[in-house]
Every structure is written in C-alpha cells, then in structure tokens.
Amino acid sequence: MRWARSCLARVGCLTLLVLGAGAAWMGRDTIAAWWQSRSVAAAPETASPSPDLADRAARKLEDFMHGRGPDRVEFDGPELQSLVLYRLADSLPAGLTDPRVSLGDSTIEASGALQVERLMDGKAPDAMRSLLGDSARASAEVVPEMAGPGILLLDLRHVTAGGLPIPSMMVPWLLDQVGVPHAADRPGAVAVRVPAGLADVSVDRGRLRLERRPGG
C-alpha cells in the first residue's frame, strides 16, 4: 500500500500548493462565472463506503501487486472511497480533511476540506486566509497515466477552492518551487514511483483499472 499512500499524498500536497497561488489570482470573478457553467457527470455508484469494503479492496489490491490472480483488476468508486477513508487518510497533508473521491468517465474526481490554520505548517499566506476564511472545500480532477516502468504520472486538472477555479498555468511553477518531481515533457503532471510490475493505470467509465505486466 506504500505506493498508494504516495499517490494520495502527492495529490493532496499539490492541491494545497495550487490553492496557495490561486489565493492571489486577480481575475477570479470572471473565471468563476465560467466554472459555474461546467458540469462533470460522475458514474452512478451502487454501494456505500465502509470498513468492510475497504478491507476487501485492500486485499484485492495486495493480491494484484503480489502477482496473485488475474493481471487486470478494477475498482469502482465506493471501493476507492473506502480505501481513501479507512486505509489512506493518514497520508494526507495536515489541514486537508474529509477526502472524497469518485470516478468519472476518464478521471478521478477528488475533493477535501481545507482547514486554513493548519495548512503549510500553519504558514498559509494572508491572501489565502482572506479569500478562504477558516475553511473551504477544494476539488480537482486527476488523470493517471504510466510514463514508463515504475513511474506513474498524476495530471491534476480543474482545481478549485471555495468554488473558485485555479489557473492550470500556475501548476508547473509551483511544482518547481517546492521540488515536487514532474516529467520534463509534462510539467503539470506529478511523477510518483510505483512497483515496476505495474503496466497501466487508467479510468474507464467509472472504474479504476490497474494492469500488471505478465509475470510481474
């Protein structure tokens, strides 16, 4: 589960960093009107997240990563949400709570509550405090993609905070400022190390699909 924790922590940290820059974005009123016109259709989900579902999903993931069973495994939205809530929540950065994930047609939809006083070790910029107040909800679309053996890219798109969109052009600069690794040809995508036997990660019609190399 270590690589899964790394993925979640990267997404959470990157979201917080982009929010910090977005707090100073001066054209937010115009962009907010545009954002209100967007709608994201989530896949229907038939089960509720639970500790039991988290246990079953964790066993399925562990079997897959240890070469047991088929070379392809899929997770639906409730399974992924259960893993996040009951197995991975302690990997989130301080100040980011109530994590929620769902699966769209080709993206992971992620959101969380921001406790501004706890963000960035209590050093959140004054502009962020002024804009967000004591708390606000942040959201993002994440597109996973394998860049090569052992390297997973997490492309973070359509980030919002308190209902305001954060410009994607700020993401590469923020990554450079804090030393978060990203691909040379995809400066807005975070690079995460995963087991070399993992051949592909994708989202297809509301299901997260993992594929293992034969014999991996």
* Cα angle: 135, vertex 34, 117; to 5 degrees: 15
**SS3 at position 121:** helix
Q: Which two tokens stand for residue 21?
A: 């820059």
Distance, in Å, from the CA atom of 30 to the CA atom of 148, rounded to the nearest integer, reads 39
Closest CA to 103 of 30, 202, 187, 173: 202
Question: How confident is the model at residue 105, as a pLDDT?
Answer: 93
pLDDT, tens digit (0-9, with 9 covering 90-100), for 81-119: 998 889 887 777 777 788 889 999 999 998 888 777 776
pLDDT, tens digit (0-9, with 9 covering 90-100), for 26-60: 334 433 443 444 444 444 445 799 999 999 998 99
Instruction: Return the HEC string of 146-158.
Output: EEECCEEEEEEEE
Distance, in Å, from the CA atom of 116 to the CA atom of 119, rounded to the nearest integer, reads 5
pTM beyond 0.85, yes or no: no
| pLDDT greater at residue 208 or residue 1 | 208
Distance, in Å, from the CA atom of 81 to the CA atom of 54, rounded to the nearest integer, reads 8
Question: How confident is the model at residue 28, as a pLDDT?
Answer: 40
- Lowest-confidence region among 26-40, 64-78, 129-143: 26-40
